[in-house]
Amino acid sequence: MTSSFVRIEALREHVGRAASVRGWVTHLRSSGKVAFIVLRDGTGVLQSVIVKNNVAPDVWERFQQLTVETSIAVTGEVREDARSPGGVEMSATALEIIGTSPTDYPIQPKEHGVDFLLDNRHLWLRSRRQRAIARVRNEIEQAIHDFFYERGFLRVDTPILTAAIGERSGLFETEYFDEGTAFLAQTGQLYGEAAAAAFGKIYTFGPTFRAEKSKTRRHLTEFWMIEPEVAWNDSNDNMRLQEAFVSYLVERALERCAEELKELERDRSKLATVVPPFPRIAYTEAVEILHRKGSAITWGDDLGAEDEALLVEDHDRPIFIYNYPKEAKAFYMKENPEDPRTVLCDDCLAPEGYGEIIGGSQREDDYDKLVERIKTEGLPMDAYGWYLDLRKYGTFTHAGFGLGLERTVAWICGTPHIRECIAFPRLMNRLWP
């Protein structure tokens, strides 16, 4: 095997010279005298040309044995070629088969059912579309870290095995030695609040788990959430941070993932309008709008996916619905002093029917009110002792939010279902591969 090889992304630097490349065969074509191998190595795609009369007979012979997904090494002169994807082509002089691939490779260039594709997710990942989505996700993850780093936030990694409970939806449980039951974290927020009192501005970025029996295009049982928490921010500051954040992520994707978004046939003009400020609609006003649009929602209900779609259809950028009824939201949200039936919170809804990508709120900072909420929700007071301490020892105005990574990636990529936006999705009926 050649010991020095070049990644396809770096081939341009080798124009006019010989180089070796390793990768997987994606297409093969031959006229009998000239053969073409299209090779993928994850950093790019390269076409190699083999001219029968110019190569040793064993090279030509080996070409005949190639199948799609065979891993190979090709060596030859790198030539400039404006029509090629990476701007270069290779005139192959040597060809080595590293790993053969039987002709029953499951992913073929035809329509496959989604269950079949998910069963073969470990191979499906190699497809062009899946590679494009993964690259957009990667860029967005990097942009998230950059956004907070540039603004002086401290990243805090919060536990996944927890004793406290955060949100209302289903919990995954596991036995935990002599300590009883541990729950997989639904959110890092409560820990984020403790960290905000120590560090001022923090964010968490980690996997979160929800044992929800929902089979929708926007629910996973394991998803990644980014949760900033800021001391002294109120609900309005919180929304301003959200719109700056979301706009930053979209701008980054437009700037650095043009190729990928093109591959995904994403209408980029629908992303270019995503700039602050985002329209703000109070929940009560949203219910009136929904009634005018024919929805049967009653004041007090949480918004369903259809309601959300009706509300965003008039807008070319995400919108905030703020100050929901207390009953519809989690116990830790601060009571609205101007209308105690509601809490100081917001959901950020993405356009084009993608719906809620962020849930955020100002937190209840009054010790007694929080105790009251824990009681009425029937939550175990013991588990929240440490959380209440944050209101006992120097309580503080603070607010934060959680952005769902896969939902955000799905919207930016324009994919219909979020299961394509994580390498190995966990769904109600899917624990493998």
Summarize as ranges the residues that interact with ligand 4AD (CB under 6 A). Answer: 166-167, 187, 189, 210, 212, 219-220, 223, 225, 227, 356-361, 400-402, 404, 406-407
Q: Which is nearer to ligand 4AD, 47 or 362 (CB)?
A: 362
Q: In one letter, which amino acid is 99? A: G
Least separation in angstroms between CB 281 and ligand 4AD? 17
**Helix 235-256 vs helix 128-150: crossing angle, to nearest 10:** 130
Least separation in angstroms between CB 249 and ligand 4AD? 13
Tokens of 296: 């049967």
**For 61, how many CA atoms within 13 A lie in the half-sphere containing its CB?**
3
> In angstroms, rounded to a whole number, what is the distance separating the alpha carbons of residues 55 and 94?
8
Least separation in angstroms between CB 228 and ligand 4AD? 8
Least separation in angstroms between CB 359 and Mg ion? 3
Residue nearest to Mg ion (CB): 359
Distances (CA, A) of 119 to 137, 209, 210, 223, 426: 22, 22, 22, 19, 12
Least separation in angstroms between CB 409 and ligand 4AD? 11
Least separation in angstroms between CB 221 and ligand 4AD? 7
Q: Which is nearer to Mg ion, 318 or 359 (CB)?
A: 359
Quick one: what does residue 227 bind among ligand 4AD, Mg ion, none, with the CB cut-off 5 to 8 Å set by partner type?
ligand 4AD
Q: Which is nearer to Mg ion, 47 or 242 (CB)?
A: 242
Non-local CB neighbours of 297 within 8 Å, separated by 6+ positions: 287, 290, 291, 303, 304, 307
Q: Which is nearer to Mg ion, 351 or 359 (CB)?
A: 359
Least separation in angstroms between CB 30 and ligand 4AD? 46
Of 408, 125, 43, 41, the closest CA to residue 253 belongs to 408
- The answer to whether the CB of 158 falls within 8 A of the CB of 207 is no
Quick one: what does residue 419 bind among ligand 4AD, Mg ion, none, with the CB cut-off 5 to 8 Å set by partner type?
none
Quick one: what does residue 295 bind among Mg ion, ligand 4AD, none, with the CB cut-off 5 to 8 Å set by partner type?
none
Could you list the residues that contact Mg ion (CB under 5 A)? 359
Distances (CA, A) of 161 to 171, 227, 300, 405: 11, 17, 33, 21
Quick one: what does residue 187 bind among Mg ion, ligand 4AD, none, with the CB cut-off 5 to 8 Å set by partner type?
ligand 4AD
Quick one: what does residue 220 bind among ligand 4AD, Mg ion, none, with the CB cut-off 5 to 8 Å set by partner type?
ligand 4AD
> In angstroms, rounded to a whole number, what is the distance separating the alpha carbons of residues 391 and 172?
28
Q: Which is nearer to ligand 4AD, 261 or 343 (CB)?
A: 343
Angle, CA 187 vertex, CA 185 and CA 188 arms, to 5°: 95
Q: Which is nearer to ligand 4AD, 81 or 141 (CB)?
A: 141
Q: Which is nearer to Mg ion, 359 or 400 (CB)?
A: 359
Rounded to a whole number of angstroms, the CA Rg of the chain reads 26
Quick one: what does residue 390 bind among Mg ion, ligand 4AD, none, with the CB cut-off 5 to 8 Å set by partner type?
none
Of 220, 224, 124, 129, the closest CA to residue 431 belongs to 220
Q: Which is nearer to Mg ion, 166 or 359 (CB)?
A: 359
Least separation in angstroms between CB 421 and ligand 4AD? 9
DSSP 12: G
